[in-house]
Amino acid sequence: MSRLDESKSLVIEARAARMKETQALLSAEEKDALIRRYHPDFRKEAYRPIRLGPNQGEQTVHELANLLEGESPVAAEAISLSPQHQVDLLIIGGGGAGATAALTAKAAGAKVLLATKLRLGDSNTVMAEGGMQVAVSAEDSPVRHFLDSLRGGYMKNDPALLKTLVEEGPEVAKWLMDLGVLFDREEDGNLSIRGGGGSSKPRLLRCKDYTGLELMRVLKDCVLNEQIELLEFSPIVELLTDGAGSCTGAILKNLDNNQYIVVQAKSVLLATGGIGRLHIQGFPTSNHYGATADGLPIAYRAGAKLTLQDTFQYHPTGAVYPEPMAGILVTEAIRSVGAQLVNVKGERFINEMETRDAVASAVIRECAEGRGVETPAGRRGVWLDMPMVDLVNGEGTLAHRFPNMLRQFSRYQIDIQKEPVLVYPTLHYQNGGIQINVDGESTVPNLFVAGEASGGIHGRNRLMGNSLLDIIVYGRRAGRAASKRATEISFGSTTLRHLDLFHDAQKKAGVVPQTVSPMLFPDYAKKNE
């Protein structure tokens, strides 16, 4: 029997005893010490100061710093800036935030162009499993949602952004339901809710473990029904400005013929998502193929300030075995209904409902101190004992509530109703991003941001279920504000003056760009260039 199989037997043997054990929550001091010692955000060698721009001198990870200081792909080329498209609002990104913004702006009467790197809908949204937090129950309230999120975010959330998020949650849930989103319901018609890590009350709305897929399918269907103008396979490569600091459009790149597309717009909305595919610190990721943080370096060159750009979420439970599943998310909701985390000896080592940063740190600790399990490909992980879900809640619960999880593992002959699986933290979310106000506007006039590309709402750690809420609430707000702005102003001149200023700043800071940014695709995926 292999060591892996031996350890698996221990997990199964110890299950009955573990079911009776309780694992206390960590005290504030214990949690702080655990995170400081083991969370990847605290690895000093992974960080360096940003050497120029609005966040000069502040720390971020090497991978992002290199992008922010990077060279524009259009900088060295003589390209015509006469626009091929003129629109009120250009939205970049076809995930949940971009699609929501497009629908809202179209409804407000704006002429909208939606450009996206891959297909409409290709995004992290579609992959979200666990749910969307909305305070609906009688014992809950938006205020409680606010306090839980603030505590989870280490009090670094922007209070005004967070208040708007939680307060508009119920209204946004209704909006989605009116579009035809089918959340799980109770017998009496009320929304079925569950608990999530760090939340004092259950408030996760969900559609089995396909919540993001359900949202994205409906939003995509609506965008197609509205016949909003679409440019697929056309990522953004640079913004355009008027030379006086305001955003006036963008340059896209048609991936099929490598031609640039110049779009003049009264306002631009970045919904370009997060950073997972940069594999910060070598971590695997739960993210979409296109999650290469394209909006960040582009906005930064145009002068937008970032916030909390030094903090990332490592989801505690990414699969590590079998190898083709490495990085794929195992939803937190499975822990909230009884699945336990156990080490190589079959021992529990953390209360599974701690916040994600604490649970991830505890998993890293177990592996660092030799209590992890090694896979044949040389990865390390701990066990997530999923069969407990059926033991605690009744046979068939896993199959009914987590059909996606069951199917994904069954493709590799692993039955999660019978066996535990190996997990390790996977790079999941960019906690920070481009700084916005409650209308989703960045520090660059007429440049709006929504979704994971923005920063401030979630502080230094996002609670489960708050990002699906964020993309809809702020997708709507930014879409509305950006289309309103477009009615108030006329087209500005389209220049790349901000790149000249950026070059001057590079020279002054002695920065030699190490890369061209945006990255567009992860470096291991060879591209048609």
Catalytic sites, residue numbers: 315, 335
CB of 12 to other proteins, least distance (A): 25
Tokens representing 52? 């120029």
Residue 350 CA to residue 96 CA, distance in Å, equals: 33
Nearer CB in complex with other proteins: 189/394: 189
Radius of gyration of the chain (CA): 23
CB of 30 to other proteins, least distance (A): 15
Mapping DSSP onto H, E and C, the string for 363-376 reads: HHHHHHCCCCEECC
Nearer CB in complex with other proteins: 189/510: 189
Nearer CB in complex with other proteins: 232/347: 232
CB of 190 to other proteins, least distance (A): 5
Residue 446 CA to residue 486 CA, distance in Å, equals: 8
Nearer CB in complex with other proteins: 85/208: 208
DSSP-based three-state secondary structure for 223? helix
CB of 165 to other proteins, least distance (A): 13
Residue 49 CA to residue 62 CA, distance in Å, equals: 9
CB of 378 to other proteins, least distance (A): 6
DSSP-based three-state secondary structure for 422? strand
Dihedral sign from CA coordinates of 383, 393, 462, 518: positive
CB of 526 to other proteins, least distance (A): 5
- In whole angstroms, how far apart are CA 343 and each of 16, 318, 340, 427, 514? 16, 15, 10, 21, 41
Query: CA nearest 204: which of 110, 299, 107, 129?
Result: 129
Contacts of 307 (CB under 8 A, 6+ apart): 158, 432, 433, 434, 435, 455, 456
Q: Which helix (H) or strand (E) holds 59?
A: strand 59-61
